Amino acid sequence: MDIWVYIFIMIAILDFLNHDPGLKILFPESDVFCFIEEISRPKIYSKYQYSPNIFQEGIINSDKYDTLFVIAPLYDSCDNYNGCYKNGSIFQNKNTLAYFNKMIDIIQTNNFKKVIIFDNYDYDYDPNDIFVSNSVSSIINEKNILFFKRYMNKNKCYHKNVYPFPYLIFGYQCNIDMLNNFINNKVILSNHIINRLFFAGSLLHHIDPVYQIERNRQDIFYKIYGRLGNYLQSFRLPHEEYIVEMKQSKYCLDLLGVGDPNVRTFEILSIGSLRIAQRSNLTWNFQEDFCEETYFDDADDLYNKITRMNSDDALYQKCLDRQNYIVSKYMSVNCLKEFVMNTIYRV
């Protein structure tokens, strides 16, 4: 089904926390509503010359809209999940639970043709389980709710109504905007490429007590430094300056963050340096993958792969061409929009 078929579909976007204008960029004809007045990404909203509407009771209804999109960190709506206590922000949990309940009211009292929830929480779970935990699981089948997840594990099975969409991530800019700039501007790397591995980001050490996940960037960073020495470079700079440093680097290091993918992933992809990524089980929304040489398991593996690419220009260029091909083919606004709509209407 082609994109033009969707032109007459009326879409309402309900954003729990107003963090990500990405869906509005994909669907400029939609109306965006949020529960809070503060605009979290004012530069992006200003750039695209729109602002979200403040939610009011009854304003989102199926008489006006065919389709409801919801952007939500679903996990924050419940304090207990799989018998584990979530030690998170009490303020955020209470408010997100209130937003969750309002969302349920909207869905239950209307008859939208499609209801799609984009879950942008950091860690992995089946979003159907959140509805079970909140005792409203029956609504999923009654209203044919579909889920897009920011992180899906390629080694895990999910309910059939769950699909990968790893683009709902926020940062200095939203990733859909960054990728769109890359594709539209055909970014060309500087003529003064520095043969180095560059890293921009915090050296966080994060432990999630529910998922028993530990992310220790500091540990892996210093292990890599122990193998590569000053070939690995990192600076604490304002955003605009470190983007320039990334663009001038032959390689950029993408370490696992609190969630996958993280904002570094899309900054690297959008500036066209070769992304060297710590391996994860992230499922992308396309069949091709980035070259195996651009993933590493540990510092020794990274050292060997960098050494090989530095001695083989053709291999390096193959990896960079594959990366830019994937970004151009799958991450443009039209491609992402078509992926969303084709997924929704083929089920």
- Distance from the Cα of residue 224 to its chain's centroid: 26
Higher pLDDT, 76 or 252: 252
Longest alpha-carbon distance in the chain: 63
**105 and 237 inside one domain:** no
**203 and 292 inside one domain:** yes
**112 and 246 inside one domain:** no
**185 and 201 inside one domain:** yes
pLDDT at position 120: 87
Q: 10 Å Cβ neighbour count for 173?
A: 20
Res 166 pLDDT > 80? yes
**pTM: predicted TM-score of the whole model, two decimal places:** 0.90
**155 and 29 inside one domain:** yes
Residue from 20, 52, 10 nearest 35 by CA: 52
pLDDT at position 248: 93
pLDDT band, residue 71 (cuts 50/70/90): very high
Q: Pairing between strand 162-164 and 84-85?
A: unpaired
**56 and 77 inside one domain:** yes
Res 7 pLDDT > 60? no
**203 and 269 inside one domain:** yes
**237 and 206 inside one domain:** yes
pLDDT band, residue 210 (cuts 50/70/90): low
How many domains, in total, are found in the chain? 2
**163 and 184 inside one domain:** no
pLDDT at position 36: 86
**138 and 215 inside one domain:** no
pLDDT at position 82: 46
Q: Average pLDDT for residues 157-168, to the nearest whole number?
A: 94
pLDDT at position 20: 81
Of all residues in the chain, the percent with pLDDT exceeding 90 is 57
**156 and 34 inside one domain:** yes
Question: Strand, helix or coil at 58?
Answer: coil
Looking at 26-30, 120-124, 149-153, which range is the least confident one?
120-124
Q: Which two tokens stand for residue 345?
A: 């209407």
- Tens of pLDDT along 181-202? 776 665 555 567 999 999 988 8
Write 28-37 long-range contacts (CB < 8 A, 24+): 30/69, 31/65, 33/59, 33/60, 35/95, 35/99, 35/102
CA distance 294 to 278: 9
**148 and 220 inside one domain:** no
CATH of the domain at 36: 3.40.50
pLDDT at position 4: 45
CATH of the domain at 209: 3.40.50.2000
Res 148 pLDDT > 50? yes
Structural domain of residue 124, as residue ranges? 3-167+333-345
pLDDT at position 322: 97
Q: 10 Å Cβ neighbour count for 98?
A: 13
How far, in Å, are 108, 316, 328 from residue 179 at the CA level?
A: 36, 22, 9
